[in-house]
Amino acid sequence: MNLSEELDKIFEEANRLIGSSVDEADLDKNKNEYLGKKGKLTSVLKNLASLSIEEKKTVGQKANDLSKSLEEIVSKTRENLKTKGFREQSEKEWFDVLRPLGETEPGTLHPITKIQYEIEDIFTSMGFEIWDGPEVETDFNNFGALNFTDDHPARDMQDTFYLENGNLLRTHTSAIQVRALRKLKPPFKIIGPGRVFRYEEVDASHETSFYQIEGMVVGKDISAGNMLYTMEVLLSKVFEKEVKTRLRPGFFPFVEPAFELDINCQVCGGSGCSVCKQSGWLELMPCGLVHPNVFKLNGLDPKEWTGFAFGLGLDRLVMMKYGIHDIRYLHSGNLRFLEQF
């Protein structure tokens, strides 16, 4: 048997033995048996001296190629053994690394989310559709299409978060009403829940980020009576009792006439507290009949269509429902507080 044939035989043996290694220790042992300093492949190469120059080149090159191939087989076998080891370990000692240590209780919905779903159910039972919209809006959708003048104070940077590209973080979900006016054919009834942003000084009843549900009804001969009845039905369903309210004149560019619907403070029962600023009342729901200019700006004829619009602060409603005296608790991330709900 010449050296070339002997090399082929050694490679065949090594390939079979290395590939059948049962673990990494066995693999290292088999590797050394063929590729180590005293291995079989090394021993064969010591006989190269007896060959001619041409044979040395041929056999030497073949020996190098076989050595590289065996190194690749060793590397692949090692990876397979590691994968097999991880799989066997995971089957025997499975552990979810994302699971918190110790006993845990199932989570629940945030109180704002709970009240939002509850209100959505109430409105859908009255035939309203639920609409959504982006939190980053254009100035036109947030202000212009709602009859805000160019010099209206709400456009000031001290009230609104503007972005470098000219867009803004929506200050109200009324922008969803604008989108509905352009896409839906009257008559229609929609609500638009979502998060809004305002450059506010934070206190017990104000936050820079909070949640609203705004709604709009468009049809024939819609009156303030229709609006007030809808609001009273909503509040009686949410609080599961008749709630004392008052309607007072207000000003909002997108409705005329405009009203402020206040609710008797449910935290203090009307006696006065930090939430209602000692007045016994809390501004809850700005509302009114849709301004004719809003219909015109969004492609509808105000002589043909009428409607009402309203906005409801979810955070404040949660505070009233559960007797929470500081809005900042709702966004604090304090689980000891939130787990009560």
Annotated binding site for Mg(2+): 256
Q: What is the largest CA-CA distance in the chain?
A: 113
Residue 267 CB coordination number (10 Å)? 20
| Annotated binding-site ranges | 256
DSSP 3-state of 277: coil
Q: Which residue has the tokens 């409105």?
A: 123
| Alpha-carbon separation of residue 61 from 15, 31, 64, 100, 286 (angstroms) | 19, 20, 5, 58, 88
Amino acid letter for position 190: I
Give the residue among 250, 245, 247 at the shortest CA–CA distance from 270. Answer: 245
Residue 198, C-beta contacts closer than 8 angstroms, at least 6 positions apart = 159, 160, 161, 171, 208, 210
> Which amino acid would we find at residue 164?
E
CA neighbor of 196 nearest in space, from 279, 302, 112, 256: 112
CA–CA gap between residue 163 and residue 149 (Å, rounded): 20
Beta pairing partners, 262: 246, 283
